[in-house]
Structure 1
Amino acid sequence: MIIRRFLDNDGELAQHLAQQLNTTLDWPQGAGLTAGHVAKIASATTCDVAYNQAANGHLIDLFAALPLPGTPDGNAFWGALEEAGGTAALYIDPGNMGGPAFDRLARGNEAGIANRVLSFLAELDDHQRDAVAKVIGDALAHDTLVADGRYLGQLWLRDAETTAWHVLLAKRRLHETQDDRTRFFEAWGNS
């Protein structure tokens, strides 16, 4: 996903400022800080922070849908997950990650959990992934009438994998994307 970070007079943000706030990008004239500057700050913040926070929040929501550690259902679930996933499951085991891991995620330490999720999924062979999907899906199936457990588990795994990737990609954006985009637009413009 490429998010526009540049601001032009015909863009959506400029049109919104003109139509909804009755201001232009260069307002106020001759001032040090214009509406355009504020819009660029808002645009950059929205692209980098909101997307990153949304991905982090979704990753937390995925784990929150699973049985809670320390409860009878949770203890059975996490034990079954470790049995199905083998040593790969240790990457996301509550005893190994600890409660503070998700607190840090909510405060912006997004790469740690995302890396653990991707490492967990990368180490699963096809048989283990199928077994893990069944364990997760069976835990989720009681809340829905939509599908069977195995399918729900496959959806959870795909969503967790994609969300973890989005978290890592969003973190990368903070440091590398602007130069990458400049090179991208130059290369494609010259092709």
Structure 2
Amino acid sequence: MYQERLANYFSITEKETKQIIDKTSSEALEAASELIKEAQKLGGRVHVTGIGKPGHVAHYIASLYSSIGTPTYFLDGTEAIHGSSGQVEAGDVVIALSNSGETEELKKTVQTLKNNEAVIIGVSGREHSWLAEQSEVFLFAGVEEEGDTLNKPPRASILAEIIVLQALSILLQEENQLDPEMYYKWHPGGSLGAAIKGSVKG
């Protein structure tokens, strides 16, 4: 039984991963990259927020973007309406994640940020969601099945969010013209830093 369930999980994950790659809009990714670039030119910053499991994705994405030369800050989706939105200034870009795009807590956070003149990049599994309507740029990250019989715990949907935002990181990395020397400057530690050190002059 377990082998059958695992095989089903891997099959669904493979299918959903391929579908999200096929459905991801390069035009939307380019628009998001351009939005971030223009905000940075004017001194704006980038933040990532989400409620629940997408909040954990937000932590990772903020760390990834920072490591490739786009300083990015995690914004707690719940604390934002209790004062933490003060870290976001007018003109800053906020990437907001929500599988449904209808989560009440995130609605309050996004509305607060928009009232403070932040620019929203929405990431959701529903193209016609509230979040999509509130976003300057919308990135679709939807799946049909999560990968288990219950079809509720977020599995494939989390992978979809990560894949889409990793794709955006590729454009940002190219925009920043990241090279090994720059990357080593920000990441000198661990085995990754050691592997890069050999290719860095001096």
Higher strand share: 2
- Same fold, TM exceeding 0.5? no
Q: TM-score, normalised by structure 2?
A: 0.26
Q: TM-score, normalised by structure 1?
A: 0.27
Q: Larger Cα Rg: Structure 1 or Structure 2?
A: 1
